[in-house]
Structure 1
Amino acid sequence: MTPAAALCLALAVLFWPPRTSHHRLAQLHPPPPRQPRNHPARPLLLIPPVLATLLAEIGGLLAATALTWTLHRHHTRTREHRKARHADTARADTLNLLVTQLRTGTHPALAAEAVAKEADPAVIPTLTALATAARLGAHPSHTDNRLLRAWNTAHNHGIPLADLLDAERRDLEQRTRFTAQVEARLAGARATATILATLPALGILLGEAMNAHPLHVLTATPAGQFLLPIGALLICTGLEWSARLTANTTHPTPPRPRNPPCQPTPQQHSSSPSPS
């Protein structure tokens, strides 16, 4: 085979048209969209400890590990709180649409299915469960789905479902508004905690500017190898403590349900002999 014939054959294989049947089927049933990754690449977290080990040996390894873990934990916590606020806002908007549909006389199953087409992806499973329960007439008594519990309460006690969902919407909006106000007021405290955490680094830079060589002491002396991880642990402890205080303020832990009081045991009344 000549080189020209081989080149023509390769071009023919490259530009060979796809099979039309598979192309049509792919258009009718497109693949589901891929969910974006919400967590950073885990191997990147190993870079700061490795670099610190090369520069400051075992003390740098311990200090960099503690700081990297604390910053990664803070980033994960902030992302989860942001996601929770977004979910509450989307749930409130979905409940508003659902209440509007119900008050126009739409059946709960049809209303849930109609709202699910325009709702946030995080709320679609909840609406689908409500539509299924309303269509099949199911009334689960023990479930974590707030819409299903509202549907069950409306069916058992004759309360309009729109009123229950509207009360749930107002509660969500009030909690979201309160959380936003508290976080805005705590912005100054969080900035102060961040500034206090960076003061040791500024002190080290100031010492280097004064030719005190604190980096040499921390990385090349036994005392520095001992003090470097201790200082990093103190910084991490301060950051975690301030984060815990602000988290308890903006996201208080709900109280644990108390055990129901013991029911009094019925006393057996002994039949006294009637006086003769």
Structure 2
Amino acid sequence: MLGTTVGAGLVAGIGGALAGLLAGTIWVRRRAARRAALAAAVAGTELADALTRICDELRSGAHPAAALSGIDADGPTARDALRPADAALRLGETVPAALARSAPHPALTDDVDRVAAAWALSDRHGIPLATLLSSVATDVRWRVEFGNRVRAELAGPRATATVLTLLPVLGLGFGQLMGADPLGVLRDGVLGAVLLVGGTLLTAAGVAWSEHILASAAPR
């Protein structure tokens, strides 16, 4: 009898630990996704502002090297993204090649590639660099603003998904208040552990599917 009780308690403990691990993983991933989206928006805004400043200086007659020399004031992300171009101009190298070798913020990889392509196009065909970089800045800024609008509009559906995720927990709470003791069932040996882990897995699958649907609507 004692061995059975200990074994049942051990199984229930493992089931609870797995459920807690899954719930913690879901929470961490959602938090990381929100932070990544915010960081990408900040990085895009910094780069767009930096390119706009550079274009203004180029239009006022400044040399590209002089325009890029002020990147330290453009924010850390934009500075790191454009520093290879600044170094290339000071060392007499080609800017597109330097940008191609750079390792900018992951959210800015495509944008830096566009800057490199614009610079190469200007070098090859003599198109005003300010015009091309201004187009890149406008595109970057538009995508940041569009992403912010979409994420704001997805706040309602995301809140609904969160409420649906919490419904099983609320159900357990109401069950306890009604005297049905669902927590006792979940703690009661193998069957309870199976129900707990199975319910948590289904909830995790629902969260993952909801996040997939929401992510497919959000800009990348």
Report the TM-score range of the alignment, normalised by the length of the smaller protein: 0.7 to 0.9
| Identical columns (%) | 36
Please say if 1:113 is aligned against 2:81. Answer: no
Partner Cα separation in structure 1 for residue 66 and residue 95 of structure 2: 17
Q: TM-score, normalised by structure 2?
A: 0.84
What residue is the counterpart of 1:237 in the other structure? 205
Structure 2 residue aligned with 1:157, among 99, 117, 125? 125
Q: Pairwise mapping of residues 19-30 of structure 1 onto structure 2 (< 5 A)?
A: none
Partner Cα separation in structure 2 for residue 241 and residue 222 of structure 1: 28
| Greater gyration radius | 1
Please say if 1:217 is aligned against 2:185. Answer: yes
The one-letter code sitting in structure 1 at the alignment partner of 2:27 is L
What residue is the counterpart of 1:48 in the other structure? none
For residue 251 of structure 1, give the secondary structure of its aligned residue in structure 2.
coil
Return the offset for 1:130.
1.5
Return the offset for 1:148.
3.0
Partner Cα separation in structure 2 for residue 140 and residue 174 of structure 1: 24
What residue is the counterpart of 2:159 in the other structure? 191
Structure 1 residue aligned with 2:46, among 82, 90, 109? 90
Aligned length: 199
Q: Pairwise mapping of residues 17-96 of structure 1 onto structure 2 (< 5 A)?
A: 56-96=12-52
What residue is the counterpart of 2:55 in the other structure? 99
Q: Which has the higher helix share?
A: 2
Structure 2 residue aligned with 1:131, among 76, 86, 99? 86
Structure 2 gaps, min length 5: 1-8, 101-108
Query: Structure 1 130/56 Cα, relative in aligned 2: closer, same or farther at 3 Å?
Result: same
Contact persistence 1:133–1:148 (CA under 8 A): no
The C-alpha deviation readout for 1:178-208, integer Å capped at 9, x for no partner, is 1112112111110000000000111101011
Structure 2 residue aligned with 1:181, among 149, 166, 171? 149
Structure 1 gaps, min length 5: 1-52, 253-276
Return the offset for 1:139.
4.8
Return the offset for 1:127.
2.3
Return the offset for 1:223.
1.7
Contact persistence 2:96–2:119 (CA under 8 A): no
Query: Structure 1 54/109 Cα, relative in aligned 2: closer, same or farther at 3 Å?
Result: farther
What residue is the counterpart of 2:3 in the other structure? none
For residue 117 of structure 1, give the secondary structure of its aligned residue in structure 2.
helix
The one-letter code sitting in structure 1 at the alignment partner of 2:169 is A
The C-alpha deviation readout for 1:20-62, integer Å capped at 9, x for no partner, is xxxxxxxxxxxxxxxxxxxxxxxxxxxxxxxxx9894111111
Q: TM-score, normalised by structure 1?
A: 0.68
Structure 2 residue aligned with 1:248, among 211, 216, 220? 216
Return the offset for 1:117.
2.5
What residue is the counterpart of 1:24 in the other structure? none
Partner Cα separation in structure 2 for residue 111 and residue 55 of structure 1: 66
The C-alpha deviation readout for 1:211-231, integer Å capped at 9, x for no partner, is 111111001233211100011
**Pairwise CA RMSD:** 2.0
Q: Pairwise mapping of residues 9-20 of structure 1 onto structure 2 (< 5 A)?
A: none
Contact persistence 1:129–1:148 (CA under 8 A): no
For residue 76 of structure 2, give the secondary structure of its aligned residue in structure 1.
coil
